[in-house]
Structure 1
Amino acid sequence: MIKNTPYIHFNVDTYWLQYGGVDVVDFLEKLEGRIACVHLKDYKQSYNEETTIMQPRFAPVGDGVMNFPKIVAKMKTLGVQYYFVEQDDAVLYPDPFEQVERSIQYITTKL
């Protein structure tokens, strides 16, 4: 499908790729020249006492398990110009705006 749609560009969500078992960096390479923007979204594994299983919980960028240094390095080599933070469920934290600030701090100092 990608080969047959050269005028379509993609908005890539790092979390959902990894959650679905896809290697984010490999996927970015496959879309070279076709990426409009990238969602930088992170998560931690947390224990759910009701289901007794580990499940993801959205987290500020840099606080979770995503390998953003590797992902952003690949984005830069591919010429991706736009990326933004998307943190679902930020309102579950005591101060949602603090979560955004933590993401911005990580991006500006570590990436």
Structure 2
Amino acid sequence: MGSCKVGIQLYTLRDETSKDFAGALRKVAEAGFAGVEFAGYGGMEAGKLKELLDELGIVSLGSHVGIARLREALDEEIAFNKTIGSKYIVCPGLGKEYRDSEQAWKETFALLEQIGRKCGEAGLVFGYHNHSFEFQDQVDGGTAFDALFAAASADSVKVELDACWAYVAGYDPVEYLGKYSGRVPLVHFKDVRRGEDDKWLTVELGTGEVNLNAIAEAAAAAGTEWLIYEQDNTQNAPFVAMANSMKWIKENGLV
């Protein structure tokens, strides 16, 4: 099945990267992931980080960069990511001040378009990563998610679909992969189930209620380049959760 490459969002391993950033990257490579999506760079200089990635035989598929940093230091982020070999820079979400009214949302749409154009001029691809609120908030009678990608040009702002949070919001990720076919190069690939307190738990792949195989098939059909394993909170130790999820990935023919 696996026509998409498989990476990992390092936020999954934040407790481990905070202790030994390079060591965590080594374990990612040993587990069989082809690439990493950064959520911070462990204090490493860009050239040294690129050397480490090359040594380990993995790539930087891209980086999550907060909206404040995108506004204030985009040139620095572009330069860093070009040095480490990233293709993508992604906004990982929005604080409430960027989305507390329809007008705020529309101003944010314009800001994301501007950031995306600047990334494109530098040879990088810019994307936006959703949680569930983009499906819950309404703009002009539809979801903020759809309003964002209608307002922003397809060349400037790509979709990084977090399939899990679309599911949690009550939307079908497979349907959305079809809807944005050709514009969704990155998919956050995670599983979820309700806990005893009725709150959602992100869980190891194959142990929740998300139809992951259907998402993988739809992503391949939509032209997705990377399936990115992410587990916001792990029940087992992070490296154990990563290993168990990679085992599921391999058993299901995705690598």
2:176 to 23, 27, 49: 27
Is there any run of 5+ residues in structure 2 with no aligned partner, and where? Answer: 1-146
> What do residues 40-94 of structure 1 show as CA deviations (whole Å, max 9, x unaligned)?
111122112xxxxx2211101111110011111111112211111110112xx34
Query: Hey, what's the Cα distance between the residues in 2 that align with 1:81 and 1:71?
Result: 13
1:6 to 131, 154, 157: 154
The one-letter amino acid paired with 1:22 is: Y
Residue in 2 that maps onto 1:107: 249
* Residue 212 of structure 2 corresponds to residue 81 of structure 1: no
Name the count of aligned residue pairs. Answer: 104
User: Who wins on radius of gyration, i.e. which is larger?
Assistant: 2
The structural deviation recorded for 1:36 is 2.2
Query: Is 1:43 aligned to 2:192, yes or no?
Result: yes
The question of whether the paired residues in 1 share the 8 Å contact of 2:185 and 2:223 is answered with no
What amino acid does structure 2 have at the position aligned with 1:109? E
Deviation, 1:109, is 1.1
Amino acid at match of 1:69: N
Q: What TM-score results when the alignment is normalised by the length of structure 2?
A: 0.39
In the alignment, which residue of structure 1 is the partner of 2:207?
63
Quickly say closer, same or farther: Cα 1:88–1:95, change in 2 above 3 A: same
Amino acid across the alignment from 1:25? V
What displacement does 1:3 show?
4.3
Secondary structure of the corresponding residue to residue 196 of structure 2: strand
Q: 1:9: how far off?
A: 0.8
Residues 95 and 10 of structure 1: CA distance in aligned 2, closer, same or farther (over 3 Å) = same
Deviation at 1:96, TM superposition (A): 1.8
Runs of 4+ off more than 4 Å? none
Greater relative contact order, per chain length (Cα 8 Å cut-off, separation 6+): 1
Q: How far apart, in 1, do the equivalents of 2:216 and 2:222 lie?
A: 10
The unaligned stretches of length 5 or more in structure 1 are: 49-53
SS in 1 for 2:195: strand
Give deviations 1:2-52, integer Å, cap 9, x for gaps: 34522121111011100111111111111111012010111122112xxxx
Once residues 194 and 242 of structure 2 are traced to their aligned partners in structure 1, the CA distance between those partners, rounded to angstroms, is 19
The structure with more helix, counted as a fraction of residues: 2
Q: Would the alpha carbon gap of residues 63 and 6 (structure 1) be closer, same or farther in structure 2, given more than 3 Å must change? A: same
8 Å CA contact retained: 2:180, 2:222: no
How far, CA to CA, are the matches of 1:99 and 1:85 in structure 2?
Answer: 11
